[in-house]
Chains A and B, each alone.
Chain A
């Protein structure tokens, strides 16, 4: 039963996860934290951090991690990871087959045009949803947030920033 739920949740994430990268986060959070309760919001934030410093897309990393923690088995990991990749597999093959019809279709272009601002909204929602008391525990959290925000805006490497924030946490708390 849990395997079916895992499959369905991550299949949905794969199917509706437009825009790549962070735009998929609010969708993962909705399914995994809000609906299924497989992770707490703090756990979810930890995994996003782990995804940043390990290779591979966030959607795959989350699927593998949640699949394991929800079932305590490698099978759960495999089920969730396969489920999140299946929509990509079928849709990309479909696009490859009908590439000419797809490329010049005005409806596809129009849909993508309205999706773009919606995706900006989804990434903003992800940031807002994660701005809660379990991630911001005291004033130091806000200092770390501000520092990393400015540094990341100035294009400092995110992996470096995460490692630095981790060291700050270790020293301060």
Chain B
């Protein structure tokens, strides 16, 4: 009980600024986004600030991957809301977004000036095929890791045909997959119960 009340008081002593600055740090030092951010989030939130215990952190991990949107943004909102409701959610959200907002804004301003610069154009001619390779590799990895069942393989193939070949918006693929999953679950539970 004493530990509980200690944790409780710690949570309410801490102000929105602490939340903001912690997530500002997380937003500044994580390159590549998403999964790359998770070790630093764990370090800050579980070990250093002790806002979540390991169990709560593991639960957060599964929830933030369930929801749409970037994983780091979802984590920031989840932790902020847990500690300080809306005020906390907004503080963490602002903290995690601001570093990339500032950096990319500076790049955007500079890049519109130097975009036609021949040296910059040469550099990006080399970089562009590398980017395509970096996107292709996770596809291979995911196929190996998930050990696709034939229905899953069919869904993946259908999504490629719709988006790549026919030019449909990925929104339809996402909606279709969600509806298909729900209908399938409904039908299997219905047949199970006589």
Interface residues of A (CB under 8 A from B): 12, 14-22, 24-27, 30-31, 34-35, 42, 45-46, 48-61, 64-65, 68-69, 72, 74, 77-78, 81, 84-85, 87-89, 91-93, 95-96, 99, 102-103, 106-118, 120-131, 134-137, 141-142, 144-146, 148-149, 152-153, 158-159, 161-162, 164-170, 172-173
A60: chain B residues within 8 A (beta carbon): 33, 70, 73, 97, 100-101, 104
A110: chain B residues within 8 A (beta carbon): 181-182, 184-185
Which one of A46, A88, A136 has the highest number of Cβ atoms from chain B below 10 Å of its Cβ? Answer: A88
Interface residues of B (CB under 8 A from A): 27-35, 37, 59, 63-74, 77-78, 81-82, 86, 89-90, 93, 96-97, 99-101, 103-105, 107-109, 111-112, 119, 122-143, 146, 148, 152-153, 155-160, 163-164, 167, 169-171, 173-178, 180-182, 184-186, 189
Query: B143 to nearest A CB, angstroms?
Result: 6
Q: Taking CB as reference atom, which chain A residue is nearest B109?
A: A68
Query: A166 to nearest B CB, angstroms?
Result: 4
In the complex where A165-B127, A170-B126 touch, is A55 in contact with B155 (Cβ < 8 A)? no
Query: A104 to nearest B CB, angstroms?
Result: 12
A17 vs B74: C-alpha distance in the bound complex, in angstroms?
12
A68 vs B103: C-alpha distance in the bound complex, in angstroms?
12
Query: A22 to nearest B CB, angstroms?
Result: 5
Cβ 8 A contact of B69, one of A88, A109, A149, A165: A88
A137 vs B83: C-alpha distance in the bound complex, in angstroms?
51
Cβ 8 A contact of B133, one of A61, A148, A172: A148
Query: A26 to nearest B CB, angstroms?
Result: 5
Question: In the complex, are the beta carbons of B70 and A169 less than 8 A apart?
Answer: no
Question: In the complex, are the beta carbons of B156 and A117 less than 8 A apart?
Answer: yes
Question: In the complex, are the beta carbons of B124 and A89 less than 8 A apart?
Answer: no
| A69-B108, A87-B69 known, 13 other contacts, Cβ within 8 Å | A18-B174, A45-B132, A55-B99, A56-B100, A60-B104, A89-B93, A92-B81, A103-B63, A110-B181, A112-B66, A114-B181, A148-B134, A158-B32
In the complex where A56-B103, A81-B97, A170-B123 touch, is A124 in contact with B128 (Cβ < 8 A)? no
Cβ 8 A contact of B107, one of A54, A89, A106: A54
A45 vs B153: C-alpha distance in the bound complex, in angstroms?
27
Question: In the complex, are the beta carbons of B182 and A117 less than 8 A apart?
Answer: no
Query: B127 to nearest A CB, angstroms?
Result: 5
Question: In the complex, are the beta carbons of B129 and A121 less than 8 A apart?
Answer: no
Cβ 8 A contact of B103, one of A55, A103, A146: A55
A65 vs B115: C-alpha distance in the bound complex, in angstroms?
13
Query: B37 to nearest A CB, angstroms?
Result: 8
B142: chain A residues within 8 A (beta carbon): 120, 123
Question: In the complex, are the beta carbons of A166 and B124 less than 8 A apart?
Answer: yes
B155: chain A residues within 8 A (beta carbon): 114, 117-118, 121
